[in-house]
Amino acid sequence: MQRRSFLALLAGLPMIVRAQATLDDLQAEARRRTGIFLAQVNKMASDQPAATYFNAADPVFGAQKAKRTVLVFTDFNCPYCRKIDATLQQVAREGEVRFVLKWQAIMADSSAAAANYAMHVWRTARPQYPDIHAALMQAPLPITQQAMRDIARHSKTEHLLDLTEPEALAASVDLGKQLRIFATPSMLIGNRIISGMTDAATLKSTIKQWPSGG
């Protein structure tokens, strides 16, 4: 058990219970509460409407008619999101899965602005999206307003900067909170949430464990 989880459990128990409980008792209670938490998250994941997976405003890697759809909670300012980005695109090119990017705004003040810009590019200048996505993923961290302006000037998309935040961005952030997404990158595969780095082979294996058609 992680020390952080164990300490969180201790803080949530009455003092008299902590004084009388053994370490095994506390660990068992932690496992029980973890099971309840995971069951709640799994139910929320299973209850997501189809629109969550097929919102035209969300950038996507992969074919529209792919057998499976995976939600990716990501952030332009997250160094690990940058590392896994190429893996997602590699797996998507094989045609079995599409990855829907659900932008979060947790890594830096500019995360929301970068996602806002990218989503407007996806909506109105889609042929340019791959290059602009790559440029944002490669910009020095944290991404600055000047860096975004340089990318926009180079791609002639300056008119897409500083626009009103699309509803889909707020919805993505809210979905991350609902599913208890505390770190990026995280992925919702079926009703299972996985976080952190993974390689292409492991990712494909995990996705294949989830029946197609879901």
φ/ψ of 192, rounded to 5, equals -115, 130
pLDDT for 185 beyond 70: yes
Q: Average pLDDT, stretch 37-66? A: 79
**pLDDT for the residue numbered 145:** 97
**pLDDT for the residue numbered 25:** 74
Residues 17 and 83 in one domain: no
d(CA 110, CA 201): 32
**pLDDT for the residue numbered 51:** 85
Half-sphere exposure in the Cβ direction for 125 (13 Å, CA): 19
- Range of lowest pLDDT (10-14, 38-42, 45-49, 59-63): 10-14
pLDDT tens digits, 113-139: 999 999 999 999 999 999 999 999 999
pLDDT tens digits, 146-157: 999 999 999 999
Least Cα distance to 25 among 13, 38, 40 occurs for 13
Residue 33 lies in a domain: yes
The answer to whether the predicted template modeling score (pTM) of the entire model surpasses 0.85 is no
Residue 55 lies in a domain: yes
Q: What is the CATH number of the domain that holds 204?
A: 3.40.30.10
Percent of the chain with pLDDT over 70: 79
For 175, residues 6+ apart whose C-beta sits below 8 A from its C-beta are 48, 52, 71, 102, 181
Q: Residues 123, 116: contact at Cβ < 8 Å?
A: no
Residues 42 and 54 in one domain: no
Percent of the chain with pLDDT over 90: 67
| Domain total of the chain | 2
Domain of residue 10 covers 3-46
pLDDT tens digits, 72-81: 999 999 999 9
Q: Average pLDDT, stretch 103-117? A: 96
- The mean pLDDT of the chain is 86
Provide the Cα torsion 114, 118, 124, 130; round to 10°: 150
